[in-house]
Amino acid sequence: MDSRPVKLAPSILAADFARLGEEVAAIDAAGADWIHVDVMDNHFVPNLTVGPMVVKALRPFSAKPFDVHLMVSPADALVEAFAEAGADILSVHPEAGPHLHRTLGRIRALGKRAGVVLNPGTPLAAVEPVLDLVDLVLVMSVNPGFGGQAFLESALPRIAELRRRIDSTGRPIELEVDGGIDQETGPRVVAAGASVLVAGTASFRGGPGAYRANLEALRAA
């Protein structure tokens, strides 16, 4: 293991949606590094969450980077709206549209950090042609669409291989892992090479009084 500081990106998918602004402020105060926002369209994934209006409404509740995970198809038409709403990082799935290279270029042209997301069934090779255009690779350790799913062990060798490929670029590309992350799986994905952990259930369980302890437990693990 090396000494890269691992970032925690709590997913607000597990927050109380009736009090979302206060939830974002509370998880920020509890020590979140990034705020992970899961955007779902009932088309690319079988669930429906939030759009740019909600990101804009949440923006005043935290100065931390908003890490917006787009599970929408097509993504292109929404990229600008999310950028204007206050997203700092915008990540897209290669399957979400025919022009991944162009989409990533658009995100970068808007002055935002660009990410590619790999589903459990997506070959790692999907990221190769665009590695020079990304600031982040997000490895799904569940199939996207829902929080609270069980961690897929098959993510571990994929993370290790991506760590090798990212290191060979010499560029500071973040390697983020999303799905089923808790005190047991977190240390294992970090040992495999992850630099950012998304955690929904493990961050927000127990309500606001528990957030600091939840994040400290993840960090300590």
- Residues of this chain that interact with Zn ion (CB under 5 A) are 38, 69, 178
Least distance to ligand DX5, CB of residue 148, Å: 5
Is residue 182 flagged as an active site residue? no
The Cα 219–Cα 209 span in angstroms is 17
Query: Closer CB to ligand DX5, residue 11 or residue 62?
Result: 11
User: What HEC string does 69-134 produce?
Assistant: EEECCCCHHHHHHHHHHCCCEEEECHHHCCCHHHHHHHHHHCCCEEEEEECCCCCHHHHHHHHHHC
Least Cα distance to 181 among 8, 18, 44 occurs for 8
Amino acid at 25: A
Tokens at 79, concatenated = 């990229």
**Interface with ligand DX5 (CB under 6 A), residue from 199, 211, 215, 218:** 199
Nearer to Zn ion, 69 or 93 (CB): 69
Stretch that binds ligand DX5, among 19-27, 80-88, 173-181, 211-219 (CB under 6 A): 173-181
Residue 132 CB, shortest distance to ligand DX5, in Å, is: 25
Task: Please say if 28 is a catalytic residue.
Answer: no
The reply on whether position 15 binds ligand DX5 by CB under 6 A is no
Nearer to ligand DX5, 24 or 198 (CB): 198
3 vs 190: CA distance, rounded Å? 10
